[in-house]
Amino acid sequence: MFDFVRLVVKNESLKVASVYFYRFMPVFLMLVVFVFGYFLLKNPVNERQYTQVQHIAIQMKYPHAEAMAKLLLQQQQVTTRDYFRLLHAYHTEQKNVKSYPAVYVKTP
């Protein structure tokens, strides 16, 4: 009954194959994740995301993100990749904008 287990352990080619399997499985899984992510980024955005692009295009507070959103709206379809780039530019510009206390008017 246990002769089969001893036979498997004695077989060197099977040992080598199992070592290669365990070494290349994580690489294969990472490759699958990257390919899957690439195809997900090429999909068009949904309606909620498209309206968010429209809202960014009409705002006047962040001019670089506004210009980028207007360029995206001129395309036939906005991909998820472009949408994420726009959000990154919007948040970066939002973070880098400095507000000065002298600009704000206090209401009595």
Sorted by sequence, the CB contacts under 8 Å of residue 64 that are 6+ apart come out as 89, 93
User: What percent of the chain clears pLDDT 90, i.e. is strictly above it?
Assistant: 56
Furthest CA-CA distance within the chain: 92
Q: What would the pLDDT profile of 35-83 be if each residue is shown by its tens digit?
A: 999 999 999 999 999 999 999 999 888 889 999 999 999 999 999 999 9
CA-wise closest residue to 42 among 79, 75, 72, 76? 79
Task: Write down the pLDDT at residue 18.
Answer: 78
At position 96, the amino acid (one-letter code) is: N
Contact 44, 77 (CB under 8 A): yes
Is pLDDT above 80 for 91?
yes
Question: Mean pLDDT lowest for which of 50-54, 68-72, 88-92, 98-102?
Answer: 98-102
User: What is the pTM for the complete model shown?
Assistant: 0.68
Contact 65, 93 (CB under 8 A): yes
